[in-house]
Structure formats: C-alpha cells, structure tokens
Amino acid sequence: MSDRLRIALQKKGRLADDSFALLKACGLRFSVRGGSLLVRVKNMPIDLLLVRDDDIASFVSNDAADIGIVGENVLVEEQLTSALDAQIAMKLGFSRCRLCLASPERGSVQSAADLSGTRIATTYPGVTGRFLKERGISAKLVEMKGAVELAPSIGVAESICDLVSTGATLEANGLMAFETILESEAVLIRSARDMSPEKADLFDKLMRRVEGVIKSTDSKYIMLNAPKSQIVAITALLPGSDSPTVIPLAGTEDLVAIQAVCTETVFWETLEDLKALGARAILVLPIEKMMS
C-alpha cells in the first residue's frame, strides 16, 4: 500500500457527516463531491476511502485501509461472524444507538423469557445469536437486510432485534423494546498489524487531534460574576473544573469574575443553581480544540 494513510469512511448515511466533521476539526482539508470514492486530503498524506459501512471493518482488516470509522454494532457483528483483524482504537461519541429486542405491544413475546421456540428477525445474527447462547435460549433467527420493524406485522417473526435511537421507528410500527443487547457508538478502528514508522507517526498525531476534538465537544468555557463569599460553592458546582481563574472586578470590593473550563456537560440546571448562589452575567462559550 502507498505511504499515505488511508481512512475508510461511510460515504453516505448516519455516520458520514459526523465522520467528515471530526476529520475537518482535526485539521484535514478535503472536499467530498458527487461520486468520488477516493478523496485526497490536501494538506496531509492521507486519503479517504468512501464506502458502505458494511465494508469498513473488512477493508481495515484486509489492508485496503489503515484505519476506519464504523458503528460498534457493525464491528462487533462482523467480529462474531467473520475472522476480522480490526480493533477499536478510540470511541468517538457520535451515532449513539442500541441494539434492542422488541415485539408487538400485545404479542406472545413480552420479555426474553418468552423467546424460546419463536422467530426473531434481525440484521444482526451474530450479536443476537451470542445473546441467545449466553441466556441458553433456543430461537430461530430470520435474517433481513432492512425494514426489520415490519417483520412481526407481515408474520415472518414474533419479535425483532434492531437498532433503536429515539424509539420513533419502533413506536410507528407498534413495537416495544424489552431488552438492550448492545450499546453502540461510532468507533475509530485500526488493524492489529504494525504500520510503517511514517504511518505510525501520522496515526499517533491524528489520534491526539481526535482526542482533543472529542474532549472539546463536551467542554465549555464558563465566565460569570459572583460574590467573593461564594467562590468555593460556585467552583464546586462547575462540572470537572479543578482550578478556576478568579479575577477582581473594577469598582467593587465584594464581586469577582470567575472563569473555568468545564470538562463535562453543563446543564440548564447547573446554570440555575449557579444563579441561586448569586452568579450573574453567566456566559457559556464553546471550546474549539483542547490539547493537554
């Protein structure tokens, strides 16, 4: 393979936009246009291979790509159903969903205990089969490529095992989830093989940048004015900030400005609690990048 680091990404779909955005936030300059399947990054020796998500783990495994971004659900499924030499290098925090068993609200299957001797429609025979084996349940798997939620209403299965995010698709099809068998998010994968020293350096550099971008996604810069007497209480309320900057405010003895980086999510509730302690002029600012 060439000296350029090749990254396999989903061309179009639920992973694509966030994968492109993550790489752009890491400083990679590229444009994805129309039908191009191999995109050259302009400012780094990196190529992007744009494919169906089903092919990403096997490409990484077969050396057609060095690394890739795929759903954990697809990775685990492929690890269970084919010999795969691809492993998770980093969890990325987007495209979160869960693989759930679900059935019609008033059907014969209401829990995992009712599954024996029934049919389960799924696109994930590997993960579903593993769950059944672990529980000692004997049920028939009906493999489908898509539209799995239709299976109970057309009579091909009593329940399904499919991805759920908001639950809207299940609800629209009169189904209820009764068991989560896998939690999933987008993951960055690499093969277990050694890379050339140049590629390994580039990979490490990229990993540090990805880490910085992910950290900054949850982090916020908080600025507020507060009574001096409440510095300790206010600091305790700011999630993940160990030592805030405290600055005197011109023209007042008892008020200070407090500034802190919060490394966890700041909720509306946190802001209300801060206000209750006397904090005023609260600003929550996004952080673009973080390097430690």
Ligand X SMILES: Nc1ncnc2c1ncn2[C@@H]1O[C@H](COP(=O)(O)OP(=O)(O)OP(=O)(O)O)[C@@H](O)[C@H]1O
CB 275, min distance to ligand PRP, A: 34
Least separation in angstroms between residue 8's CB and ligand X is 11
Q: Which two tokens stand for residue 187?
A: 């993951």
Kindly state the number of chain residues that form the binding site for ligand X, as judged by CB under 6 A.
15
Count other Cβ atoms within 10 Å, centred on residue 169. Answer: 16
163 interacts with ligand X by CB under 6 A: yes
Q: Can you tell me which of 79, 110, 169, 173 binds ligand PRP, judged by CB under 6 A?
A: 169
Under the criterion CB under 6 A, does residue 160 sit at the interface with ligand PRP? no
12 near Mg ion (CB under 5 A): no
Of these partners, ligand X, ligand PRP, Mg ion, none, which one is at the site of residue 158 (CB under 5 to 8 Å by kind)? none
- Looking at residues 33 to 72 of the shown chain, list those that interact with ligand X (rule: CB under 6 A): 52-54, 71
Per CB under 6 A, contacts with ligand X among 184-223 are 184
Considering only residues 29, 54, 183, 204, which one is a binding residue for Mg ion as defined by CB under 5 A? 54
Residue nearest to ligand X (CB): 71
76 binds, among Mg ion, ligand PRP, ligand X, none (CB under 5 to 8 A by kind): none
Which amino acid, one-letter code, is at 75?
A: L
Task: Give a three-class secondary structure readout of the chain.
Answer: CCCCEEEEEECCCCCHHHHHHHHHHCCCCCCCCCCCCEEECCCCCEEEEEECHHHHHHHHHCCCCCEEEEEHHHHHHHHHHCCCCEEEEEECCCCCEEEEEEEECCCCCCCHHHCCCCEEEECCHHHHHHHHHHHCCCCEEEECCCCHHHCCCCCCCCEEEEEECCCHHHHHCCEEEEEEEEEECEEEEEECCCCCHHHHHHHHHHHHHHHHHHHHHHCEEEEEEEEHHHHHHHHHHCCCCCCCEEEECCCCCCEEEEEEEECCCCCHHHHHHHHHCCCEEEEEEECCCCCC
Indicate whether 162 belongs to the interface with ligand X (CB under 6 A): no
Question: Does residue 171 bind ligand X (CB under 6 A)?
Answer: no
For the CB of residue 96, give the shortest distance to ligand PRP in the complex, in Å: 11
Closest CB to ligand X among 63 and 183?
Answer: 183
Q: Which is nearer to ligand PRP, 126 or 239 (CB)?
A: 126
Q: Which residues bind ligand X (CB under 6 A)?
A: 10, 13-15, 52-54, 71, 73-74, 95, 97, 163, 165, 184
Q: Which residues bind ligand PRP (CB under 6 A)?
A: 14, 146, 162-169
